[in-house]
Each structure stands twice: as C-alpha cells, then as structure tokens.
C-alpha cells in the first residue's frame, strides 16, 4: 500500500515542490489548506486531482486533530508558517502563534492521533541571526534577530523537546534560504527576478530595494524538499542543516538577474529606506556536512543558475 504523507503549507513554495516529489514517489498525499474568500491554490493546481485536501489552520486544534484522523499519515511535514521576516515586526504575536505555538498544536494532534508517524519541522537559518560562528552548523547557538526568528527557535526547540519527552520521531530541518520561480513576490530574489523581467519588457522602470549588502546562502527549493524527505527516511530522528555552503549579497543577486535580462543596474535600482529592517541578519552561510554524510544530500543548483532560471521564468510569464 502507498505510504501516506500529510503536508501543512501545501499551497506554499516548498509545499508544492514537496507534494510533487511525494506524488512522483507513489505517496498518497494529503494537505491542509486554509479557507479563503478567493481560492489561491495556483502552485498546486497541476496536482489537484492527485491530492486530498483538508480544511484546517495551525491556530485551530480541532481542525488539526480532524485532518490527521482523516488522513492517518506515516509522515507529517509541518511547512505552514508566517514565513516573511519583514512582516513579523508588523504582526509579532500572530507570527508567534503560527510559526511558534502552532508547532506545539500539531505535535499535540500527532501525539493524540498518530504518535508513530515521522514528523518534519521547517526550521530556519533565520534562528542563527546575529551569527555566533561561521559557517553555521547544527551545533551553532541561536541568536534570532526578528520576531519570526524567535518564533522559529521556539518551533525548533519544542520539536526537539517532544522527541526527547515522548520518543516521537520528530526532526527539525534547519534550512537556509531557498528560492524558485514559485517564490512569493515579496522575497528579495523573486522580487529582483520579477523586476528585472518587467523592466526588460518595458512594463516598469524602477526596482526599490533595502539593504544591498546583506548576504545569504541561497539554494533551489526543488533540491531542498528532497532533503526534507530524506530526513524522514532515517531510523533515528535528528536535526540537519541544509545549505549550499556559499554566500552571496543582495547586490550579487541584482547583478546576475540584470545580466540575464540584459539591462543595466545603474539606471533602475533605487534605495528605499522603508525596506531596511529594524534589526538585520547580515551574513548567513551554512555547513551541510552532516546532511551530505548521513543523508547523501547535496545541492544540485548553484546561485547563478538559480537566479538565471528565475529571471527566465518571469520573462516567460510576463511575456504571455
């Protein structure tokens, strides 16, 4: 019989790629979706017939228990979160509810319904914040710099705590930034790719940006969901850093994107101080040695190829 997987955040960037991977591997894939007055399932539209969707919300315990009862999963992937760092200063307590306490709600639902399942928590390199060592590993202490980072640190530690308290097969994947043509338009790589394409096509003229010097370890989301799946195939649940081991600045991203679109930076990029964050994470770079050695995982797509494929996708989309 096909194994069953349950994904929260299935309508998001990672949820859609993970759902694709699991469907390809023969899983019976269930996902949790939120009710909205307008249905926004664009990222999973192509998979709809092969998915079973349940209404639910990380704020609502009843809905989590009912969704797990209806799906009886062997693997649970908790990808749902308020994932945009900048907005976490605008909605700090809601961010804590979704991205922090929501993890406890789902773990509690799992304990009640399917304690034998394997659980994946979508933890984040944002937890390293003002970094204590370079590069960051599974053992690097956290120093989060945003309400989002603080909420994710809670989500990480409650996952570790439930593993140790109740012997759950719970794993926390500490993933560094990962992007794709399905990335939300508010995140910097997609914003840059979309603007580069729109400027090239004469639709707009300016690209407003905040801190151009911030550095991130950017990988491709399609590569990273494979690591999530690999983590849940291990006999012993442990935590893993997933990263490329190479950092680039926002400025580098603009240079590659504009080169791909064939336009000049000087004429279009403008500084917008309202986009500078109250506290910044200046430099993130991960060491994924443990994932390479234990999971056999390696990133397949480098930064430059990633940004170029994102610009091409937006050029194609906007040309239609």
Name which of 20 and 179 has its Cβ closer to ligand G4F: 179
CB neighbours of 254 closer than 8 A, spacing ≥ 6? 192, 196, 207, 209, 212, 265, 269
Active site residue 124: yes
Residue with tokens 């494979």: 226
CB 86, min distance to ligand G4F, A:
6
Quote the CA–CA distance of 55 and 73 in Å, as a whole number: 16
CB 188, min distance to ligand G4F, A:
4
Residue numbers at the binding site for ligand NAP (CB under 6 A): 8-9, 11-15, 34, 40, 57-59, 79-83, 98, 122, 124, 175, 177-178, 184
Told to check if 301 binds ligand G4F by CB under 6 A, we report no
CB 115, min distance to ligand G4F, A:
28
Name which of 37 and 274 has its Cβ closer to ligand G4F: 274
Q: How many residues does the chain have?
A: 320
**For ligand G4F, which residue of 39, 133, 164, 186 counts as binding (CB under 6 A)?**
186
Name which of 110 and 285 has its Cβ closer to ligand G4F: 285
Told to check if 280 binds ligand G4F by CB under 6 A, we report yes
CB 98, min distance to ligand NAP, A:
4
Name which of 178 and 268 has its Cβ closer to ligand NAP: 178
Quote the CA–CA distance of 122 and 126 in Å, as a whole number: 12
Q: Are 3 and 21 in contact (CB under 8 A)?
A: no
CB neighbours of 278 closer than 8 A, spacing ≥ 6? 89
Quote the CA–CA distance of 162 and 105 in Å, as a whole number: 12
**For ligand G4F, which residue of 63, 71, 124, 260 counts as binding (CB under 6 A)?**
124
Question: Greatest CA span in the chain, whole angstroms?
Answer: 58
Options 163-171, 203-211, 240-248, 308-316: segment touching ligand G4F (CB under 6 A): 203-211
Quick one: which of 169, 182, 186, 120 has its CA closest to 310? 182
Neighbours of 232 (CB within 10 A): 20
Quote the CA–CA distance of 165 and 159 in Å, as a whole number: 10
Name which of 210 and 265 has its Cβ closer to ligand NAP: 210
CB 173, min distance to ligand NAP, A:
8
Options 26-34, 105-113, 122-130, 303-311: segment touching ligand G4F (CB under 6 A): 122-130
Quote the CA–CA distance of 234 and 99 in Å, as a whole number: 25
284: left (phi over 0), alpha (psi -120 to 50) or beta: beta
Name which of 54 and 183 has its Cβ closer to ligand G4F: 183
Per the residue annotation, which of 75, 126, 179, 226 is the catalytic one?
126
Residues in binding contact with ligand G4F, number by CB under 6 A: 23
Q: Give the phi and the psi of residue 20 in degrees, each rounded to 5.
A: -60, -50
> What letter would DSSP give residue 254?
H
By a kind-dependent CB cut-off of 5 to 8 A, residue 184 interacts, out of ligand G4F, ligand NAP, none, with: ligand NAP
Active site residue 226: no
> Which residues are 76's β-sheet partners?
6, 119
Strands 28-33 and 51-55: parallel
By a kind-dependent CB cut-off of 5 to 8 A, residue 277 interacts, out of ligand NAP, ligand G4F, none, with: ligand G4F
CB 206, min distance to ligand NAP, A:
25
Instruction: Return the active site residues.
Output: 124, 126, 148
């Amino acid at each position: 019989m096909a194994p069953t997987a349950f994904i929260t955040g299935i309508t998001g960037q990672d949820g859609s790629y993970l759902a694709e991977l699991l469907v390809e591997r023969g899983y019976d894939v269930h996902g949790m979706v939120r009710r909205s007055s307008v249905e926004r399932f664009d990222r999973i539209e192509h998979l709809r017939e092969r998915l079973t969707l349940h209404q639910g919300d990380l704020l609502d315990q009843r809905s989590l228990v009912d969704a797990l009862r209806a799906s009886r999963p062997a693997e649970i992937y908790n990808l749902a979160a308020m994932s945009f760092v900048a907005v976490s200063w605008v909605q700090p307590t809601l961010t804590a509810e979704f991205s922090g306490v929501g993890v406890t709600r789902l773990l509690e639902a799992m304990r009640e319904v399917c304690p034998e399942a394997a659980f994946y928590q979508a933890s984040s390199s944002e937890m390293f914040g003002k970094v204590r060592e370079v590069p960051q590993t599974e053992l690097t202490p956290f120093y989060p710099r945003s309400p989002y980072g603080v909420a994710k640190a809670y989500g990480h530690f409650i996952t570790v705590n439930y593993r140790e308290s109740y012997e759950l097969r719970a794993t926390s994947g500490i993933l560094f930034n990962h992007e794709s043509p399905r990335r939300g338009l508010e995140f910097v790589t997609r914003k840059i790719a979309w603007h580069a394409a729109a400027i090239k096509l004469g639709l707009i003229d300016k690209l407003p940006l905040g801190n151009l010097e911030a550095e991130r370890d950017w990988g491709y989301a399609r590569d990273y969901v494979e690591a999530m799946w690999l983590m849940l195939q291990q006999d012993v649940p442990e935590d893993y850093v997933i990263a490329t081991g190479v950092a680039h600045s926002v400025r580098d991203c603009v240079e590659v994107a504009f080169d791909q679109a064939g336009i000049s930076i000087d004429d279009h990029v403008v500084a917008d101080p309202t986009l500078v964050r109250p506290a910044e994470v200046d430099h993130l770079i991960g060491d994924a040695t443990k994932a390479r050695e234990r999971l056999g995982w390696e990133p397949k797509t480098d930064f430059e190829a990633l940004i170029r494929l994102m610009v091409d996708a937006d050029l194609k989309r906007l040309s239609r």
